[in-house]
Structure 1
Amino acid sequence: MKEIRQPGAHSYVFSRYLEPIAKVNPGEEVAIFTKDAFEDRITKATDIASEILGRYLNPQTGPIFVEGAEPGDTLAVHIIDIEPTRDYAVSVHLPNFGGLTGTEITRMLNEPLPEKVFMYQLADGMLTCNERLSFPWRPFLGTIGTAPDLEAVSALTPAEHGGNMDVPETKPGNIVYLPVKVPGAYFYTGDCHAGQGDGELCGTALEISAKVTLKFELIKGKEIKWPRIESPTEYMVVGSARPMEDAARIAYAELIGWMVELGWDKWEAYQALTQIGKLHVGNMVDTYYSLVAKIDKKYALSASK
């Protein structure tokens, strides 16, 4: 199996203008090594994150050139496994970052939050900080995406290309479908999480470095507008925007489009999602918010019978 490591500085953008670090073929399994959201700089509870961290978060491993990928295709990324490459995860409270404080984007007059580092030891499938803060291992890819067709997009930003969606559904056993906008797709990933609740409330999940095993496939001539996710039991679409209700509208509207492709009448799909659709928040802290709309396959596939 090919192993891919960043040979130099990690990227903090999704961009078509960087030199690919590796090339992969459709159907090929690869192991990609990622650093955590803090570029592995925080190592102990006494660290002062604001003094250690640079200006940017979420280092990306990439870009990875997918042979044969052309604009208008869809890149199907099979997430096979996520293995930790260390025995601890980190979460931090930062003074002007998170869902319940003023930030550079959402301006408030409140005092900055007190800064704190939480270290979680990983053992026997659990991440433990103390007797109250102990949670199960639930790994997923915080950032996963392809290059936009023109602009470079920050690794903190989720959008049509994927990016920093922070949705727990990007996990082993699922397939992430991403739009291809440039030749070679220029795939990036990073920001692995050992677990996270809905919304990523304080702005940092259980951040961990990892070895990620993926397999790439191409769906030629199949164009999608927003990231799609398929699990063994559900179809999902991720929408990212501000305000949050616009992200919800994107996700549900795109899911209706997918259902139409599966044989549904558009307006019956609208009705079905009204009655049986599911929706949850991936993140409520990034430059754009990400929401996931879902439908169980047992309903979605009923139109084809």
Structure 2
Amino acid sequence: MKEIRQPGAHSYVFSRYLEPIATVNPGETVAIYTRDAFEDRVTKDTDIPSKILGNYLNPQTGPIFVEGAEPGDTLAVHIMDIEPTRDWAVSAHLPNFGGLTATNTTRTLNEPLPEKVFIYKLEDNELTYNKRLKFPWRPFLGTIGTAPELEAISALTPADHGGNMDVPDTKPGNTVYLPVRVPGAYFFTGDCHAGQGDGELCGVALEITAKVTLKFELIKGKAIKWPRIESSTELMVVGSARPMEDAARIAYAELIDWMVELGWDQWEAYQALTQIGKLHVGNMVDTYYSLVAKIDKKYALVQD
């Protein structure tokens, strides 16, 4: 199995204007190594992130060129496994970042939050800081995406290319479908999380370095507008926007489109999601918020 490591500086944008670090073929399984969101620079409880970190966060491994991918195709990424490459994860409270504090886009006169770093020990599939802060290993990819058609988008931003969606559904066993907008797709991933609650409330999940095993496939001539996710039991679409209700509208409307592709009448799909659809918040802290709309396959795949 091919192993892919960033040969030099990591990327902090999703962009078509970077030199690919590797090429993969459809059907190929590869192992990709990722750094954590803090560039592996916050390592102990006594660290003060604001004095350590610069403007560049969420380093991405990529771009990876997918042979044969052309605009108008869909890239299917099967997440086979996520293995930690160290025995600890880090989270932190940052002064002007998170869901319950003032930020540069939500200005208030409140004092910034006090900084605090949490180093969690990973052992026997459990992450432990103390007796109360003790959580199971639930790994997923915080960032996963392809290059936009023209612009370069920050690795902190989720949008219709994927990016920093921070949705726990991008986990082993699931398949992520991404739009191909440039020749070769230019795939990126990083920001692995050992676990996270809905919303990523303080803005920092259980950040960890990882070895990610992925299998790539191409769906030729099929274009999608927003990232889709499929599990063994559910179909999902991710919408990213501000305000949050616009992210919800994107996710649900795109899920209706998917159901129509499967043979549904549009208005019956609308009715079905009204009665049985599910919606959860991936992140409420990034430059855009990400929401996931879902329907169980036992409803979505019903035939007339």
Confirm or deny that 1:237 pairs with 2:230. no
Please show how residues 8-47 of structure 1 align to structure 2 within 5 Å: 8-47=8-47
CA distance in 2, matches of 1:108, 1:136: 35
CA distance in 1, matches of 2:106, 2:31: 38
Name the amino acid aligned to 2:150: L
Confirm or deny that 1:266 pairs with 2:257. no
Deviation at 1:54, TM superposition (A): 1.5
Please show how residues 290-301 of structure 1 align to structure 2 within 5 Å: 290-301=290-301
Name the amino acid aligned to 1:266: Q
CA offsets 1:160-214 (integer angstroms, 9 cap, x no match): 0000000000000000000000000000000000000000000000000000000
2:107 aligned partner: 107
Deviation at 1:242, TM superposition (A): 0.2
Name the amino acid aligned to 1:37: A
Please show how residues 218-257 of structure 1 align to structure 2 within 5 Å: 218-257=218-257
1:250 is paired with a residue whose SS is: helix
Deviation at 1:109, TM superposition (A): 1.3
Name the amino acid aligned to 1:241: A
Confirm or deny that 1:59 pairs with 2:59. yes
Please show how residues 149-228 of structure 1 align to structure 2 within 5 Å: 149-228=149-228
CA distance in 1, matches of 2:193, 2:5: 18
What residue ranges of structure 2 are gaps of 5+ in the alignment?
A: none
CA distance in 1, matches of 2:105, 2:164: 16
2:301 is paired with a residue whose SS is: helix
1:50 is paired with a residue whose SS is: helix
Deviation at 1:104, TM superposition (A): 1.1
Q: What's the C-alpha RMSD, in Å, of the aligned pairs?
A: 0.5
CA offsets 1:266-288 (integer angstroms, 9 cap, x no match): 00000000000000000000000
Name the amino acid aligned to 1:13: V
1:70 aligned partner: 70
How many residues align structurally? Answer: 304
- Deviating 4+ runs (over 3 angstroms): none
CA distance in 2, matches of 1:49, 1:105: 20
Confirm or deny that 1:88 pairs with 2:88. yes
CA distance in 2, matches of 1:161, 1:112: 32
2:204 is paired with a residue whose SS is: coil
CA distance in 1, matches of 2:267, 2:202: 38
Name the amino acid aligned to 1:66: V
Deviation at 1:108, TM superposition (A): 1.5
1:275 is paired with a residue whose SS is: helix
Deviation at 1:107, TM superposition (A): 1.4
Name the amino acid aligned to 1:221: G
1:101 is paired with a residue whose SS is: coil
Indicate the percent of aligned positions where both proteins have the same amino acid: 87
Name the amino acid aligned to 1:20: P
Name the amino acid aligned to 1:25: N
2:270 is paired with a residue whose SS is: helix
CA offsets 1:210-237 (integer angstroms, 9 cap, x no match): 0000000000000000000000000000
Name the amino acid aligned to 2:269: A
CA distance in 1, matches of 2:262, 2:95: 47
CA offsets 1:250-298 (integer angstroms, 9 cap, x no match): 0000000000001100000000000000000000000000000000000
1:117 aligned partner: 117
CA distance in 2, matches of 1:166, 1:209: 15
- Output the TM-score relative to the length of structure 1: 0.99
1:151 is paired with a residue whose SS is: coil
2:247 is paired with a residue whose SS is: helix
- Output the TM-score relative to the length of structure 2: 0.99
**Bigger shift: residues 101-110 or 173-182:** 101-110
Deviation at 1:105, TM superposition (A): 1.6
